[in-house]
Structure 1
């Protein structure tokens, strides 16, 4: 990725007249190149990197700023999400739910960056922060383990309406309790639809096994 700071690179030759959009695009390409080496897919047209593990995926979006100013400010906003590939199809089929994103973390210190004049060291420090956050908070290698952790923590960054749809899609017996605990965020109409899809409570001495690890 340091090849993006070559002698002729726009990232090396920023000036008061360099358009912020060009700096932003070059910086995102540097991030994208780095994550492509780690198995992610990089989308240039709507800058983001994405990696999948079975049904779940991690998507990290890169947004610019309306307040960019040549020579002083090039905003980069970093927004990670976890989503479900199958949930998108389930929502369309059942005409229930909003979208496939089930988790949108907010508790991280690298969300907003001014990348004007960014050096290689700045870039590597930012990448290290993102990598550490992915490893500790966005590890989806085991889908079921990731979902279990979010539920056990009652994580405040769960996207409640979409997450409830995910539990319904996977016949997770924890759906009813989740709706009760997050009724306001899910809403009356969606709650009623999802309750109808909730698996029955297990009889005494039986275990209700879900397939939420699909």
Structure 2
């Protein structure tokens, strides 16, 4: 039980640090065009990639209606609450953007919780999570990736927190101000944009 609490504490601390560092208001010392952090003109630099971290133009993440929750039913038991194997919900999202040349790379993060249902049990589970970048106004898909994200429901208390990350959402820098980023559960067909 103590190890479960420790894992939860570490996950929440990591998410809190990521959220604090990825705030679009420039909280972590990113004064774009005014020296930024570390004395780098125009913003901070990601030490691992050498790319400029740009928060001022980093598109926000949205959840489409109906995509924040997911339920997996036993075969033949669809829409029967007693046949739910497991269910999950996305609680928080954040992102971090960096620019290299004429491309923006966006790291999309979604945190949530999963729990076994009445017909479920402890063990590995999969959740279909899609990240999509759509042009405002035209709804043209610039990026779309569906992942079968896996986590494990622990024995004893089959509920867990999860942290999904798509680190490589790449879009043209000139599109960054006119797009919307969506993340959510998607049981639809696989498509890649």
- TM-score of the pair, normalised by structure 2: 0.31
Question: Greater relative contact order (Cα 8 A, min sep 6): structure 1 or 2?
Answer: 2
> Which structure has greater helix proportion?
1
> Which structure has greater strand proportion?
2
Higher-Rg structure is 1
